Amino acid sequence: MNPKRCDAIVIGAGMGGLTVAALLARKRWKILLLEKEGRVGGYVVSFKREGYTFDATGTFLGGCQEGGEFYQILREIDAHEAIEFIPIHHIRNIYPGFEISLKQGGFSSYADALTDLFPEEEKGLKTYLSLVKRIGDEIRSYSGITLAKRILFPFYFRNLIRLHRTNHQTILDRLFRGGEIKMALHTLPATEPPSRLSFLFVAALISKALMEGVFYPKGGMGRVSRVMADSFLNSGGEILLNTKVDQILMKDGRPAGVLTEEGKVFDAPLIISNVNPNLLTKMLPPEFQRPLLKKTERFEYSLSSFILYVATDLDLNEMGLPYFTYVRALSDLEEEYQMMRRGEIPKNPTLIVSVPTLLDPSLAPNGQHILKILVIAPYQYREEWGKQSPGKRQQIKEEFCQKIFQQVESKLIPDLRNHLLYYEAATPLTLERYTGNEQGAMYGLASTPEQTGHLRPSHQTTVPGLFRVGHYARPSHGIVGASLSGLFAARAILKQMA
Ligand SMILES: Cc1cc2nc3c(=O)[nH]c(=O)nc-3n(C[C@H](O)[C@H](O)[C@H](O)COP(=O)(O)OP(=O)(O)OC[C@H]3O[C@@H](n4cnc5c(N)ncnc54)[C@H](O)[C@@H]3O)c2cc1C
């Protein structure tokens, strides 16, 4: 393919960009994918250090079973057989005063465990799960909406309409009495506390992903983006790495191509952006920025995270450690969130510890394990993690690593620091630098009721011929959420061009 002449240019090879590029390439579109880094994947990458394969960010993904949402996307691009997904069964959630440990099953067995712990809340839990299921059914039905259903929308989608402004706290308070079960039900992949998290997002997540189980890709998270890139290349697509887009060139009110940082021009009548909305706006000539700015100024990002990558010679299998452990020390989720928004981190922050080598031993040399320890963290901590001076940056990072090690040793793995073979950490600044996600926003737009469902930015921007995908667009954040945004954008583009 001549990269100078293509049907569409995709800016950014995150999950959204890779998905839309691979799907359009399967339809014989000539697609050029431009990525500023030396590899594809955005947040979904693995990296090697001294014989260890670490996942930069993600811990699990849903919808990978046959017929699942992500499986269907992989199938559509003929990549479903190129990757093996290992089901994650063994999880342990530790809360102040109680814990839930599961060896088998997904969210339904989690709910059973909650009933055993809090029998007095059984009725509320049944109502909660039934509501979640009904919303899940409505969302599924919405994706294949017929004209009849469109006309009778309020009848078929009454929960989506009724609850679109509702946060998780409202539902939890309505159905449960105790604070502990509310805390346990809010153990979700989102950085917002119950008062800010959209209940529709929660219901979609539980009904679609968590109920059906979650998975880990054999070979590491980076395998997911690599197989998508391979499918794209096999369909005739072209990827240019280390190519940062600087400007979107316009002609007669529509995109005409892009200008890269190195001064190269690539022409295309259609541009699909997988980058942060502010960066996208700045790529446009001033007269096209204003309508986009009106919306982006009001956007609220999710929080970021600090990630500690560790290798150890401890036998974590023998110690009975599960793949996934969630350790919460503070019981007030709202207070923890408010601290973070002020740029502070609690003395004992919540930890999310995963051990990928328990599922895939090939990620480390024989007899050794790797751990990833994730802490939700604000971008503004200690004046943006001491960015003014490299010495200060290193000092703050190291202090934080030791704080996390201490907590992991006291709650989970005694003596870990005497068995370290390697460790390294990433701050929110690292996340921002590698992916262009402003403030290191780990989930893009926060999933508040105001930024969920039809209120989340759609794939078509205010500029004709300019589309957006990724976790700042519909339907949601997450690996599968971002990939679905690529699927929906591809469908919208194909429909418009038909
Ligand atoms: C620490 C952490 C843990 C997470 N854990 C999970 C998890 O367990 N499960 C889950 O489902 N999700 C998880 N997520 C969220 C998930 O990874 C993201 O929501 C999703 O991957 C975002 O995909 P995206 O399509 O928006 O692209 P991004 O990953 O944001 O990638 C954007 C791409 O665009 C490129 N780019 C930016 N600017 C330019 C430019 N000017 N020119 C060219 N290229 C450019 C970037 O380099 C990058 O490759 C996690 C995220 C983080 C940070």
- Which CATH number is 320's domain given? 3.30.70
Phi, psi of 475 (to 5 degrees): -90, -30
Residue pLDDT, tens place only, 478-496: 999 999 999 999 999 999 9
Domain that holds residue 133: 107-211
Pocket test for ligand 1, best of 35, 37, 43, 404 (most atoms within 8 A of CB): 43
Residue percentage of the chain with pLDDT more than 90: 86
398: its two tokens: 């190291």
State in Å: Cα 486 to ligand 1 middle: 13
Same domain, 428 and 333: yes
Same domain, 234 and 328: no
Average pLDDT for residues 137-157, to the nearest whole number? 73
Residue pLDDT, tens place only, 191-243: 999 999 999 999 999 988 778 899 999 999 999 999 999 999 999 999 999 99
Q: Which of 305, 346, 351, 359 is nearest to 325 (CA)?
A: 351
Per-residue pLDDT, 424? 98
Quote the CA–CA distance of 299 and 275 in Å, as a whole number: 14
Per-residue pLDDT, 107? 78
Ligand 1 in contact with 275 (CB < 6 A)?
Answer: yes
Q: Which of 188, 181, 179, 231 is nearest to 207 (CA)?
A: 188
Is residue 144 predicted with pLDDT exceeding 70? no
Same domain, 376 and 421: yes
Q: Tell me, what DSSP letter sits at residue 186? A: T
Mean residue pLDDT across the chain: 94
State in Å: Cα 14 to ligand 1 middle: 5
Please report where in the chains the tokens 């983006």 appear, as a residue: 225
Confidence at 497, pLDDT banded by 50, 70, 90 = confident
193: its two tokens: 């506390």
Last residue of a domain, one of 170, 189, 211: 211
Same domain, 332 and 404: yes
Is residue 417 predicted with pLDDT exceeding 80? yes
Measuring from atom 50 of ligand 1, which residue has the nearest CA?
58
State in Å: Cα 45 to ligand 1 middle: 9
Ligand 1 in contact with 443 (CB < 6 A)?
Answer: yes
Q: Which of 276, 306, 309, 302 is nearest to 393 (CA)?
A: 306
In a domain, 75, yes or no: no
Same domain, 112 and 176: yes
Pocket test for ligand 1, best of 34, 45, 205, 479 (most atoms within 8 A of CB): 479
Helix or strand holding residue 312 (H, E)? strand 304-312
In a domain, 66, yes or no: no
Ligand 1 in contact with 224 (CB < 6 A)?
Answer: no
Per-residue pLDDT, 196? 98
> What residues contact 143, with CB distance under 8 A and at least 6 apart?
none
Ligand 1 in contact with 210 (CB < 6 A)?
Answer: no
Burial 79-109 (b: 16+ CB within 10 A, else e): bbeebebbbbbbbbbbbeeebbebeeebbee
Is residue 157 predicted with pLDDT exceeding 90? no
Quote the CA–CA distance of 353 and 91 in Å, as a whole number: 10
State in Å: Cα 293 to ligand 1 middle: 22
Lowest mean pLDDT among 119-123, 212-216, 414-418: 212-216
State in Å: Cα 471 to ligand 1 middle: 7
Please tell me whether the peptide bond between 464 and the residue prior to it is cis, using omega within 30 degrees of 0.
Answer: no
Helix or strand holding residue 130 (H, E)? helix 122-143
In a domain, 33, yes or no: yes
Average pLDDT for residues 418-424, to the nearest whole number? 98
> What residues contact 173, with CB distance under 8 A and at least 6 apart?
182
In a domain, 62, yes or no: no
Residue pLDDT, tens place only, 274-331: 999 999 999 999 999 998 888 888 999 999 999 999 999 999 999 999 999 999 999 9
Same domain, 182 and 200: yes
Q: Which atom of ligand 1 is nearest to the CA of 40?
A: 49
Cα 304 from chain centre? 11
Per-residue pLDDT, 153? 65
Quote the CA–CA distance of 461 and 282 in Å, as a whole number: 14
Is residue 447 predicted with pLDDT exceeding 70? yes
Helix or strand holding residue 27 (H, E)? none
Same domain, 222 and 198: no
Same domain, 311 and 399: yes
Same domain, 289 and 307: no
Ligand 1 in contact with 13 (CB < 6 A)?
Answer: yes
Q: What is the CATH number of the domain that holds 37?
A: 3.50.50.60
Quote the CA–CA distance of 313 and 110 in Å, as a whole number: 31
For the chain, what is the domain count? Answer: 3
Per-residue pLDDT, 271? 98
Same domain, 231 and 162: no
State in Å: Cα 41 to ligand 1 middle: 7
Same domain, 342 and 426: yes
Average pLDDT for residues 430-434, to the nearest whole number? 97
Last residue of a domain, one of 185, 211, 237: 211
Per-residue pLDDT, 210? 77
Per-residue pLDDT, 142? 75
Helix (H, G, I), strand (E, B) or coil at 442: coil
State in Å: Cα 9 to ligand 1 middle: 18
Same domain, 309 and 430: yes
Q: Is the pTM of this model over 0.95?
A: yes
Last residue of a domain, one of 191, 211, 231: 211
In a domain, 455, yes or no: yes
Is residue 4 predicted with pLDDT exceeding 70? no
In a domain, 385, yes or no: yes
Average pLDDT for residues 425-433, to the nearest whole number? 96
Per-residue pLDDT, 291? 86
Q: Tell me, what DSSP letter sits at residue 29? A: -
Residue pLDDT, tens place only, 334-366: 999 999 999 999 999 999 999 999 999 999 999
Per-residue pLDDT, 145? 65
